Each structure stands twice: as C-alpha cells, then as structure tokens.
Structure 1
Amino acid sequence: MVTDKDGYIHLVQYLTEHLGIFENSQQQSVTEDTVMELFEEQLAAQIIMVCGQNPSLTFSQRNLVVREVDSIVYDLEEILARVSGHKATAEQSVFISELSCLIKNLFDQEIARMISL
C-alpha cells in the first residue's frame, strides 16, 4: 500500500540523510519519551486521524493500514537501532513530528486512490 511506493523510499532516504539529528546525544532531552516511543505515539496519532477522516474504509482496509504502520515502525527500529532508546531532544521531536505528518500524507494519497477505485 505505502511501503512499496517511491514516496516511502524517499522518506526513508530523507530520514537517513538526517540521522545526524539522532546521533547528537549532547543536547538536553525535552521529554521522558524515547525516540522510538515518540515515533510510535506520533504515527499512532496520525493513523487515527487517517482512519477518522475516512470512515468509509472497510475493516480489511483498516487492517491493511495497521499492517503498513507496523512495517514502517519495524523499518524505523532498524534505521534508528543505536538511538531508539535515547530520550528525545527538542530537535528530534520536531523532526519526528514532521516525518510522521509526511507518512500520513502518503496514507492519505493511497487511501484516496483506493477509495476512488
């Protein structure tokens, strides 16, 4: 649905290009949440929004969305393995929020295509 699209590959490349944000552990954390916890919270909020904005999605389609999110979280865990347990800094929190919104946009596009078929 999303993870096999060029847009997702570009987002993964965008993340890898900005790994320096996550490797700088000298900054003060602004939350008790770890990097991965923050990603999970942000993605969950975005996907809840996606499903809420598309009440016509079938149970099967919603399950597909959830499976895709699980796959994305797995990819994030792989990419951020060294820093996933670190407390998130302000800069990391902003980046995570922005990336989560971009991921939501991918879902919005794919769901719009799926519904129009």
Structure 2
Amino acid sequence: MVTDTEGYIHIIEYLTEHLSLFENSATAEDSESVMEVIEIELSEQIIMVCSQNSTLSFNQRNAIIREVDAIVYDLEEILSGVVNNPVTAEQRTFIKEFAGLIKNLFDSVINTLLTKQDE
C-alpha cells in the first residue's frame, strides 16, 4: 500500500539525510525515548487518517495498521542505535514532521484507492 511506493522511499531518504540529528542526544530534555515519540506521533497521524476516511473497510484499516507496523520496523532498523535514548526537542520536532509526511503519503494512497473503488 504505502511502503512499496516511491513516495515512501523518498521519505526514508529524507530521514537518512537527517540522521545526524539523532547522533547526539546528550542534551535531551525529556524522559520519553525516541521510539516512544515515534510511536505516539505515528499513532496520532494514523488515527487522523482513519477518522478522515470513514468509508474505509475493516480490511483496509487492517492493511493500514500492517503498513504502520512495517514503517515502525523500518524506523527501528534505521535508528537502532538511538531508539531508546531520551528524545531531544529537535528530534521531537523532526519526528512530528516525519509522521506528518507519512500521513500525507497515506492520504494520497487512500485517495487513489477510493477513487479507483468509485469507478
């Protein structure tokens, strides 16, 4: 659905271009870990995706959840050395932006799916 799109590849490339942001988290202001913030932000965005698309079937919603699980797995792999570190304010801002990009990608793919479904 999403993880096999070119848009997803670009979003992952965007993350890798900003990996330096995650190298030094000694100045963390928060007790939440990088992974906890990723999970929170992605969850909020996916809840919005599902609530904005009330016509999604149960199977389509399950497919979205499976895709999010795959995305979280990818993020754990890419950020494996820092996922348990306390998150910094800069990292939190980046993660929020990144989750928004993921939401936009879901919005785009879902719009295409629903358009094809209506034809």
- TM-score normalised by the shorter chain: which range applies? over 0.9
Name the residue aligned to 2:20. 20
Q: CA RMSD, aligned part only?
A: 0.7
Q: Distance in 2 between matches of 1:26 and 1:20?
A: 13
Runs of 4+ in structure 1 displaced over 2 angstroms? none
Q: Distance in 1 between matches of 2:101 and 2:25?
A: 25
Identity of paired residues, percent?
56
TM-score, normalising length from structure 2?
0.95
Q: Distance in 1 between matches of 2:57 and 2:3?
A: 20
Q: Pairwise mapping of residues 6-85 of structure 1 onto structure 2 (< 5 A)?
A: 6-27=6-27, 29-85=28-84
Name the residue aligned to 1:105. 104
Q: Distance in 2 between matches of 1:35 and 1:67?
A: 21
- TM superposition shift of 1:61: 0.3
Structure 1 gap segments, 5+ residues each: none
Tell me the SS of whatever aligns to 2:29. Answer: strand
Instruction: Name the aligned partner's letter for residue 4 of structure 2.
Output: D
- TM superposition shift of 1:18: 0.5
Instruction: Name the aligned partner's letter for residue 70 of structure 1.
Output: D
- TM superposition shift of 1:26: 3.1
Structure ranking higher in strand proportion: 1
> How many residues of Structure 1 are paired with residues of Structure 2 in the alignment?
116
Q: Distance in 1 between matches of 2:79 and 2:105?
A: 21
User: Is the CA contact 2:45–2:103 (under 8 Å) kept in the aligned structure 1?
Assistant: yes
Tell me the SS of whatever aligns to 2:54. Answer: coil
User: Is the CA contact 2:29–2:87 (under 8 Å) kept in the aligned structure 1?
Assistant: yes
Instruction: Name the aligned partner's letter for residue 11 of structure 2.
Output: L
